[in-house]
Each structure stands twice: as structure tokens, then as C-alpha cells.
């Protein structure tokens, strides 16, 4: 099992370039089978979620060539509409494959998806949206079997602006007959990126980022070369790390408006932040102040994927912070590990009350999910003494070169196999 050994207490100084956004790249990879021409995606991060998505594409019959972060997908010979169950369990985002596999083959079979254990994560909105486009759905023995004689555009109102459901419906609608309107659509920057990618392939998608997405079905899509947006969650993680450890960081590749909610809170905590284009500079402050309330919300609200890292910051901010997790039911598993480091946290249902302590101390802790794991790494970097962060399999799902980038900033962190 891979483990980080962290000697805490070092300030962080330097620059970080954003990796390609995990949550943008995964749907783009799913979308690549919408054409039988070649698709080239640059800046594809080397993380296990991406490797698993590429494995799924290979099992469908696609040829993948990977040179560093450049990825070439050729799905001319794709033949299978069955998304392999063992890979679906590893990767929840494999559910996006439903929309694109349906568009390609008029049928799709998938087992119930996996991913982080952070709550129930139902897919009812995905399925009801697909039904509205004319898809028949059978759920048998843990598998979802979908088929459609043809996909026909429809007016769809989502009960909740689900990121995955919005993307899945777009992917099923791009070549459907007529017009699809998705109301109460998710507004995340990754949806806008999917729209730009599809339009570069010849699709007609409009409105992403604004809450109503309109898709006019086209007959065919062609190959494309594309660079996805930078990872706002990754960059947010490094900004929080610097605020916690002290120091000064410059990040590049994520426009400030994509993580405005975090920047707003970090300023309230006392950090100085300057921005220009897609550059963000954060200078830490001598002592962080607690902010009263942070509630996770769909974009442009505070992202649930930064809740754990921000909760780690609150552990040493002076005063009491109240965190409310509105998106996922069980996203505080990391809190028990932070307590082993001396944090004062009380969790009840979706709320955490965090009373700031002067300093955390090193401990042996287990990273149980992707963002919770990142939060523990940040806590270990800021703590007094040595920590061991056990089981990096979840962190590796989302952060490329994590320890390398942190070391370049001055952190004392190394990966060992125990």
C-alpha cells in the first residue's frame, strides 16, 4: 500500500500549473466515441480515474494512443455497447458512457456505477432524462439495459442541477432528431467545456453555464483536437494548502471566476489574493480567522469537492466554523482522522462544527476517499511533527504528480510502499 510520509511545518512558496480538469476530461473521453474519426485530447492528467476510463474505451473496441498527456482515441472499430462491470465499479463517471454509447449503438448496458463512497449517489435523473429522449430502460440484476429505436429531442426539466445528468443528456441528444432543451441544467465550467468540445466536433449545443442548455441534433460529428480547461479543484487544493502552511503561491491555468467561492472565503480567512487572467496569487496571513458558515452548493456556490480540504483549513483557524454539506450525505469520513491529529470537530448529519486549535500534530491516518484524502495530506503538511497518510489509491484517482508538485513548493513529503 502506498503511503505518504510527511514532515509538517514547512511554508510553501512557488508556482503551480493546473492539470487538465479531471471532471472535464472524463466526459470528453466518453464523448470521443460519438465520431468514428480520430479525437486528440491534450493535457489529459495521469490519474487513475482517467486510466480506468481509457480501459473502458479499449474494452468497447477503441484504439488509444497515449504520449505523455496527449491522448489519441480512435473509435472507428468500436463494437461493444457493454460497459464492463468491474471498471464501472472503479469509476462512477463511467455512467456518462450511457449517453454516448446510446448515441453510437442505440443500446447500452452498464452496471450500477461506483466511485467515492460519499453517499447514495443515485442516477434517477440520468435515467429519467434518457427516457424523455425515447430510451427504454430495464434494470435487471444490478445492470441497467438501455435501448432506443431512435433518439428524439425533448424538453427536460431536471429536479436538481446534476452535473452528470446534464452531461449524459447532452451526450444522448447531440445526434437526436430535433431539439432538446435541458432546464435547471448544471452550470459548472466543465459543462461549458463539454459544450465547446462537442461544438468543435460539429455539434450544435448552446447555453451551457447559464442554466438552460439547448441541443439541436446533427447528423454526424467529426474528429477534433482539443485542450480541456484546468482543474479548479486541484488548484483550489494548492491554494488551501498554502493558506494553511503559510507562504506564497502563484497558480496558473484556472480563471479566478471558476473558483470565486473559495477565493472569497480565503480572503475572509485573512489571505491576500490577487488575480489576473488565469493567474491567482495567494499570500498567507499570520493567523487564519474562522468564517461563520460555508455551505456547499452547485456552481457557482462553494464546491463540494473542496469541502474536505477547506474543513482541514478550519481546524487551525481562530474561532468556530460551521460547514454544511448539501450535496452528498456522508462526506465527513475524514473528520475522524483529523481528530487523531488534534482537531476539534463535531459532525452531525450534514453539518460540521469546527473549533480552531492552535496547531495539529502528526499522526498515522488513512485516506478513505479522494478529496478527504487530499484534506488529510494538507493537514499533515501544516501539522507539527511527522505524519503517515496511508492508502494513496483514492488520492491517485484525482491528483497527478501530487507529491512532486508539493515538493516543488517546499513541502517535505515522500511516497513509500509499506
Cα→Cα distances 147→101, 106, 413, Å: 10, 6, 50
Nearer to ligand UD1, 160 or 414 (CB): 160
96 C-beta neighbours (distance < 10 Å), count: 27
Interface with ligand UD1, residue 103, by CB under 6 A: no
One of 56, 62, 163, 214 touching ligand UD1 (CB under 6 A): 163
Nearer to ligand UD1, 245 or 367 (CB): 367
In whole angstroms, the minimum distance from the beta carbon of 228 to ligand UD1 comes to 12
Residue reference for cell 479499449? 58
Interface with ligand UD1, residue 191, by CB under 6 A: no
In whole angstroms, the minimum distance from the beta carbon of 148 to ligand UD1 comes to 19
In whole angstroms, the minimum distance from the beta carbon of 373 to ligand UD1 comes to 14
Q: Alpha-carbon distance 167 to 159, whole Å?
A: 15
Q: x/- binding map, residues 8-47, to ligand UD1, per CB under 6 A?
A: ---------------x--x---------------------
Residue reference for cell 508556482? 15
Q: Alpha-carbon distance 332 to 340, whole Å?
A: 14
One of 19, 93, 111, 251 touching ligand UD1 (CB under 6 A): 93
Interface with ligand UD1, residue 321, by CB under 6 A: no
Interface with ligand UD1, residue 100, by CB under 6 A: no
Interface with ligand UD1, residue 139, by CB under 6 A: no
Nearer to ligand UD1, 78 or 123 (CB): 123
Nearer to ligand UD1, 31 or 317 (CB): 31
In whole angstroms, the minimum distance from the beta carbon of 160 to ligand UD1 comes to 5
In whole angstroms, the minimum distance from the beta carbon of 319 to ligand UD1 comes to 27
In whole angstroms, the minimum distance from the beta carbon of 132 to ligand UD1 comes to 13
Instruction: List the interface residues with ligand UD1, window 111-130 (CB under 6 A).
Output: 120-126
Q: Alpha-carbon distance 132 to 169, whole Å?
A: 10
Nearer to ligand UD1, 164 or 253 (CB): 164
Interface with ligand UD1, residue 269, by CB under 6 A: no
Q: Is 271 a catalytic residue?
A: no
In whole angstroms, the minimum distance from the beta carbon of 65 to ligand UD1 comes to 23
Instruction: List the interface residues with ligand UD1, window 366-405 (CB under 6 A).
Output: none
Say which of 62, 116, 245, 271 is annotated catalytic.
Answer: 116
- Measured CA angle at 273 (ends 315, 163), to 5 deg: 70
- DSSP strand pairing (143-147 vs 179-183): unpaired
Interface with ligand UD1, residue 262, by CB under 6 A: no
Interface with ligand UD1, residue 313, by CB under 6 A: no
Interface with ligand UD1, residue 180, by CB under 6 A: no
One of 244, 249, 327, 381 touching ligand UD1 (CB under 6 A): 327
One of 328, 334, 399, 402 touching ligand UD1 (CB under 6 A): 328
One of 154, 165, 290, 379 touching ligand UD1 (CB under 6 A): 165
Q: How many chain residues bind ligand UD1 (CB under 6 A)?
A: 22
- Measured CA angle at 261 (ends 258, 266), to 5 deg: 115
Measured from each CB, the residue nearest to ligand UD1 is: 164
Q: Which residues bind ligand UD1 (CB under 6 A)?
A: 23, 26, 92-93, 120-126, 160, 162-165, 186, 190, 304-305, 327-328
Indicate which residues carry an active-site annotation.
116
Amino acid at each position: 500500500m502506498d503511503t505518504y510520509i510527511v514532515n509538517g511545518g514547512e511554508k510553501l512558496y512557488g508556482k503551480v500549473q493546473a492539470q487538465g480538469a479531471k471532471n472535464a476530461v472524463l466526459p470528453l473521453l466518453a464523448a470521443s466515441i460519438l465520431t468514428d474519426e480520430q479525437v486528440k485530447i491534450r493535457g489529459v492528467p495521469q490519474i487513475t480515474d482517467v486510466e480506468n476510463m481509457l480501459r473502458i474505451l479499449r474494452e468497447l473496441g477503441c484504439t488509444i494512443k497515449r504520449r505523455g498527456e496527449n491522448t489519441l482515441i480512435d473509435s472507428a472499430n468500436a463494437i461493444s455497447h457493454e460497459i464492463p462491470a468491474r471498471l464501472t465499479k472503479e469509476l462512477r463517471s463511467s455512467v456518462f458512457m450511457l449517453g454516448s454509447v446510446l448515441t453510437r449503438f442505440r443500446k447500452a448496458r452498464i452496471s450500477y456505477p461506483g466511485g467515492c463512497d460519499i453517499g447514495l449517489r443515485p442516477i434517477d435523473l440520468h435515467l429519467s432524462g434518457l427516457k424523455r429522449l425515447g430510451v427504454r430502460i430495464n434494470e435487471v440484476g444490478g445492470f441497467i439495459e438501455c435501448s432506443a429505436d431512435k433518439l428524439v429531442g425533448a424538453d427536460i426539466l431536471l429536479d436538481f442541477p446534476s452535473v452528470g445528468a446534464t452531461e449524459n443528456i447532452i451526450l444522448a441528444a447531440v445526434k437526436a432528431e430535433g431539439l432538446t432543451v435541458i432546464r435547471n441544467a448544471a452550470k459548472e465550467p466543465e459543462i461549458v467545456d463539454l459544450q465547446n468540445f462537442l461544438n468543435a466536433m460539429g455539434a450544435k449545443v448552446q447555453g451551457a453555464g447559464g442554466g438552460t442548455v439547448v441541443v439541436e441534433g446533427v447528423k454526424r460529428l467529426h474528429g477534433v483536437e482539443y485542450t480541456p480547461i484546468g482543474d479548479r479543484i486541484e488548484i483550489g487544493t494548492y491554494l488551501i494548502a498554502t493558506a494553511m502552511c503559510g507562504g506564497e503561491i502563484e497558480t496558473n491555468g484556472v480563471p479566478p471566476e471558476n473558483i470565486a467561492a473559495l477565493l472569497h472565503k480565503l480572503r475572509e480567512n485573512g489571505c491576500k489574493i490577487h488575480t489576473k487572467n488565469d493567474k491567482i496569487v495567494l499570500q498567507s496571513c499570520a493567523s487564519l480567522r474562522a468564517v461563520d458558515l460555508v455551505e456547499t452548493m452547485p456552481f457557482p456556490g462553494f464546491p463540494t469537492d473542496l469541502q474536505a480540504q477547506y474543513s482541514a483549513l478550519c481546524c487551525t483557524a481562530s474561532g468556530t466554523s460551521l460547514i454544511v454539506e448539501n450535496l452528498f450525505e456522508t462526506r465527513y469520513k475524514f473528520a475522524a482522522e483529523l481528530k487523531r491529529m488534534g482537531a476539534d470537530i463535531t459532525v452531525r448529519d450534514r453539518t460540521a462544527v469546527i473549533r480552531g486549535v492552535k496547531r495539529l500534530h502528526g499522526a498515522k491516518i488513512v485516506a478513505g476517499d479522494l478529496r478527504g484524502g487530499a484534506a488529510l495530506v494538507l493537514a499533515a503538511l501544516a501539522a507539527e511533527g511527522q505524519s503517515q497518510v496511508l492508502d494513496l489509491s483514492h488520492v491517485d484517482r484525482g491528483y497527478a504528480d501530487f507529491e512532486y508538485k508539493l515538493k516543488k513548493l517546499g513541502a517535505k513529503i515522500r511516497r513509500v510502499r509499506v
